[in-house]
Structure formats: C-alpha cells, structure tokens
Amino acid sequence: MPAVKRVALGMVGPGLVGAEVLRQLEATKDILKANGMDVTVSCISDLKEGKPWMLCKESWITLDEVQKASYADGEAGDLAKMADYLKSIAPHAVIFDTTAAEPVSNMYATWLKKGCHVVTPNKKVGSGPLARYNECQSAVKDSDAIWGYEVTVGAGLPIMNILKKDLLQTGDKVKKVEGIFSGTLSYIFNTFKPGMKFSDVIADANGKGFTEPDPRDDLGGVDVARKVCIIARECGMTVELSDIPIKSLVPDALKDWKPKEGENMRDAFVTEMAKYDDEKTALMKEADEKGMVLRFVGIVDVENKTCEVKLDMYPKTHSFAGTQWADNIVAFHTERYVPQPLVVQGPGAGAAVTAAGLYAELLKIVDQVH
C-alpha cells in the first residue's frame, strides 16, 4: 500500500465559499482517508467581534465549531503563525484563502517561502502589483510549494489547467485567448433580446442574486479585467491591471453616483440606468439586424501583446452566441488548434462550483507531494 499522506489545512475567511469548502471536506473526510490522504482542518482564521481571530488544534475543526465560537475560544489572528503551526503538525500544509483582503494577499509570498501550499479564488494576487506576483512565482520555484489559482479565472472550469498543462507545457503556442469570464454579464446578455430594456434585464439579474450589492462592480468590467490579467501573465506577458483598457457598461455620469439616504443601491441604480436604455437598445437592434449577438468579453492577444475588456458583437453561429444562463466560455486560439479554437464552456460561478474547484486544487496538490 502507498504511504498515507498527512496534510494539515488552514483557512482564512470561512464565508460563503469558504464555508462550502469546509462542508465538502467534512462530508468526504472518510473518503479522503480511504484513498491514503490523512487530511485535517487544523487552523481557521476569521474576524470575531471585529478583531482578527484564529483557532488552531490538531484535531478536525468543524464549520459548526467555528461559527459558534467566540473570540475567547481562540487567539489573536496571526497569519504567519498559522503557517508555522500547520507546518509543525504535518509534513504537508495547505492554506485556503477565500477572502479578497489585501493583508491576506500580502501573505502569499511568506506562506509559499515557508513551504505552505496556497489555494485560492482570490484574484488580487494574480492580477495585482506585478512585483508581488513575481515574488510569489519566485517563492514557488524556490520552495516547491504550489500556488493553486485555477479558481481565480474559471471557478469550476479548468481554464488555467488547460492553458498551463495542456497547451503551454506541451509546447503549443497560444496566439489569442478570448472569453466570457463573468457569469453575471453572461446571464445579462443571454437574457437581453430585441425589444427589451437593458435596465429591466439588470433588475432581473438583481432579483436572481447575480449582481453585487453595487451592480457597477459587475457592469464596470474590472473583475473580467483581473481574469484577463491573470491569463496574460500566464502567457508570458508583462502586464499590470491598469494597462488593460476596459469599456465599462456604466455610463460616465453614473460612475461616481450615490443613492439617496435610505435607498436600496440595486433598485436605485436600475432606476438611474433606465435613463440610458436607448444606447443599449440601439446596439441590440444593430447587432440583431446583422445576425449577431452582444457579448461582454475579455481578450488576451498574445501575438500582439495587447489585452482588452469590452462589449462586442459576434455572429449567431459563433460559439459565444451559444452560451446559456450564466455560462462562462473561453476560446483558445493556438498553433495546434486551427482553424477552430479549443473551447471550454460551463457554469463559472456559484459557491458550490467554486468550492468544488478549490477542493480539486487540494487533491492535485496532495497528488503531487511526496
């Protein structure tokens, strides 16, 4: 029988996605053990009573235990100490970061240098300052720790794995990567049809819980630009997030708009957006008359070393026109995949899907370590 691999897990930020990861791990811990993986959730960091907090112990820490704990049940949060503790109790340590917090993002290089593997959906390190990104990549090379950031681009879709392993590492030359990277904007433009008001479609997306509390966070395109930046860097491009032009869907007049006191942000924003419906109505009419559809896309043109995020038109025969609901879809144009690109499509958002993607990253790490 192969040797059992002992792995101590830590998590920072057991919120919506983090809690789902813990549920999935708890539900399958016996399966893990049966497959030679002695995995234990041994350290959780969160905010309790408004202060950084941490609970560490060698036995499995359940989600219920974390949610019911008070500040006094643990200790002051210390992210460097978390890594040291995990390394002290098992040969292999993995930290899940399910936050988007800058103080946590700034810890990645330290964790990796200590030999802790990092798994995350946090896009801010992969698309943040290039110096920090390069420091993390150097730490990976020097320590043999693994930085699992598959989920930052495609949630449950294996976009980065295909790009890194199936294409780049096998010697294929990537010419261009383009895709619909936002589940929210995918849903909006899959729903938006001739004769509909764009603001009504946003209201519908609001009602289904697709948009952020401030819909401008989705419509502004920055989240898509972060994913584009991560892909571009993986393809060897030296790019900062600020280098990527974004054609925002938010009218200039609303970029600094604020709702009146007591107004619901989502509802008030839809009311303001209704004043600009004519522009999107005209675009939709133009696209439909040309036999095309509107799609909000991110593009990495590796050959010309450019990136962009924009609303564009695609023929109704194009693969991007065939998306459903809130699908993400990515097309890889390479030297091997001609004349048609390699296309990956499927649900790209949701806590369960994202958590499953993070769990899959853990399994890849455990499979690789000795």
Q: How far is the C-alpha of 64 from the C-alpha of 73, rounded, in Å?
A: 13
Tell whether omega for the bond before 339 is within 30 degrees of 0, i.e. cis.
Answer: yes
- Burial class of residue 83 (count of CB atoms within 10 Å of its CB; 0-12, 13-18, 19+): buried
Smallest Cα–Cα separation from 224: which of 123, 362, 108, 94? 123
Q: How far is the C-alpha of 164 from the C-alpha of 160, rounded, in Å?
A: 6
What is the token pair recorded at 36?
A: 């030679």
Q: How far is the C-alpha of 246 from the C-alpha of 25, rounded, in Å?
A: 38
Q: How far is the C-alpha of 66 from the C-alpha of 82, rounded, in Å?
A: 16
User: Reduced to 3 states, what is the DSSP secondary structure of residue 52?
Assistant: strand
Q: How far is the C-alpha of 313 from the C-alpha of 288, rounded, in Å?
A: 9
What is the token pair recorded at 155?
A: 């949630």
Q: How far is the C-alpha of 231 from the C-alpha of 54, rounded, in Å?
A: 33
Active site residue 285: no
Helix, strand, coil fractions of the chain, as percent rounded to 5: 45, 20, 30
Q: Which residue has the tokens 């109704």?
A: 316
Which of the following is catalytic: 227, 247, 275, 364? 227
Collect all residues with Cβ–Cβ distance below 8 Å to 53 and sequence separation of at least 6.
45, 46, 47, 71, 74, 75, 76, 77
The 3-state secondary structure of 241-285 reads: HHHCCECCCCCHHHCCCCCCCCCCHHHHHHHHHHHHHHHHHHHHH
DSSP code string of 296-340: EEEEEETTTTEEEEEEEEEETTSGGGG--TTEEEEEEEESSS-SS
What is the token pair recorded at 138?
A: 């150097």
Active site residues: 227
